[in-house]
Amino acid sequence: MKMSAKAFDRAVARAVERIPAEIRDLMENVVVAVRKRPTQEMLDAVGMTADDPPLGLYWGESLLERSSFSPVQYPDTIFVFQEPLEAMCETLAELEREIEITVVHEVAHFLGMDEDRLADLGYA
């Protein structure tokens, strides 16, 4: 299922807007960015390949890993990758749902959740 870049950006923005305000408030220094696909550096960092790319990626230090002594890293970024998401979806409704799942998944990493916990919650 293909979507224009503008429509995809809007779908990601809607997914972010559906995150509870209390969590969005914690994300004041988090950028949510759409990219066509992950860079090789991103793939290397997460141990994945271009043949099996991630749908999204949280690039930063989770809230649980931070301390008052941690240097401030600007900005933490949630990447949402358009082409891998489009490749796995056959309908617009499915693509919009997977975008939302991906955004929630990456926000959860920002909050400090690992893959096992996300799988338990149905967001793996």
**What are the tokens at 11?**
């779908």
CATH number belonging to the domain at 5-121, selected among 3.30.2010.20, 3.40.50.300, 1.20.1250.20, 3.40.50.2300: 3.30.2010.20
Paired strand residues for 59: 77
Radius of gyration, alpha carbons of the chain: 14
Break the chain into its structural domains and give their ranges. 5-121
**Residue tagged 């408030």 (tokens):** 25
What pLDDT digit, counting tens, does each position of 21-74 carry?
999 999 988 999 999 999 999 999 999 999 999 999 999 888 777 666 666 666
Q: Who contacts 43 (Cβ-Cβ below 8 Å, separation ≥6)? A: 49, 50, 53, 54
In the predicted structure, residue 5 carries a pLDDT above the cut 80: yes
CB within 8 A of 1, min separation 6: which ones?
Answer: 86, 89, 90, 91, 92, 94, 95
Neighbours of 44 (CB within 10 A): 11
Confidence of residue 117 (pLDDT cuts 50, 70, 90): confident
Pairing type for strands 56-59 and 76-81 reads: antiparallel
